[in-house]
Amino acid sequence: MKPLTSYTCKLSEPNAKTLEAYLRGHDYEFREVPYAKFAGANKDLNVVYYESGKLVLQGKGTQEFVEFVLEPEILKEVKLGYETVLNPELLAPRLGVDESGKGDFFGPLCIAGVYVNEKVIKSWQDAGIRDSKNISSDKKIKELAEMIRDTPGCVTSVVPIGNEAYNRLYSKMKSVNTLLAWGHARVIENLMGQKHKMNPPPVRAISDQFASKKETVAKALMSLGREIELVQRHKAEEDIAVAAASILARHEFVSRLGEMGKQYEMVFPKGASAMVDKAAKEFVEKHGAVEFGKVAKLHFRTALRAQGLPEPPKTEWRKGFSRKTEDK
């Protein structure tokens, strides 16, 4: 098995101070890193401790540092290599579900699901599978997506909701969360329809809790999806099954956005920004408002600005209402 070359964990403030003192006492070269409290490096290892409390180690000296410095001297606990012994649930057969494109004005909403078992999880140990939001390279996303699909024993499903269908569903449901719940339920149903390929069968499905009420997704589940326990939690992408699903969803989104760009001979920026506003106005000028719904999510305020239409007053935030997903 290849030695570990990257490692991430949470570090308490006292432990972070102990680590910083260790680095300064062992000739690590310190440097400035955005959003980091401190960062040090030597020829074999880069160490960055972020303001969020996250510690990131990278380099060929990662495994040795974790085993002989971080765990015994800083954390005072031994976990590396024993994670699944300490928490057997990490190897449980399960489904992971995640989406991509929710916050992007241009392009579809893509929801993906992945079945993993112990063999699949162990085969991915050093593959670098993590939340797609932490992978900036589209090329890397593509490579990981192909590897996930080609892994023996892994079962996948992707449900892309193109812009025309998205706008039609949104006009009917009036809520991104309700639309997302339908998409998650559809993916779980598709996966459960392939249960004969899953050995052993999954014990649960895990997804991010994007709605204030967990019932939003639970109520959307279809017949096969109701046969399995649904677990919704914040930061679900920390689970490898959900992280794998996020990679498949992102790859589908990026691929379709690229195809859309070729079709209309223009670059569609990701996200929602001033650059996106500019591209939206250019699209309307070139192709007209009729075609707009084929490439964009029309409930975003960007759509109104691009067409020179007045924007309604912003809705005040209230409990159970997410301005982020409902009022772009």
> Maximum Cα–Cα distance for the chain, whole Å?
65
Q: In the chain, where does the domain assigned CATH 3.30.420.10 lie?
A: 88-257
Q: In the chain, where does the domain assigned CATH 3.30.310.10 lie?
A: 6-81
CATH level 3 topology of 6-81: TATA-Binding Protein (3.30.310)
Q: Which residues of 168-202 are buried (b: 16+ CB within 10 A; e: fewer)?
A: ebbeeeebbbbbbbbbbbbbbbbbbeeeeebeeeb
Q: Does domain 88-257 have CATH number 3.30.420.10?
A: yes
Global pTM? 0.72
CA distance 21 to 15: 10
Dihedral of alpha carbons 240, 143, 109, 275, sign? positive
Instruction: Tell me the pLDDT of the chain (328 aa) as tens digits.
Output: 456 788 888 899 999 999 999 999 998 999 999 999 999 999 999 999 999 999 999 999 998 898 889 988 888 876 644 444 434 466 789 999 999 999 999 999 999 999 999 899 989 877 888 889 888 899 999 999 999 999 999 999 999 999 999 999 999 999 999 999 999 999 999 999 999 999 999 989 999 888 777 788 888 989 988 899 898 988 888 889 999 999 999 999 999 999 999 999 999 999 989 999 999 999 999 999 889 999 999 999 999 999 988 888 776 555 444 444 444 5
Tokens for 317, please give them: 């935030």
Kind and range of the H or E element at 68? none
Cβ contact 231:206 at 8 Å? yes
Q: How far is CA 53 from the centre of its chain?
A: 20
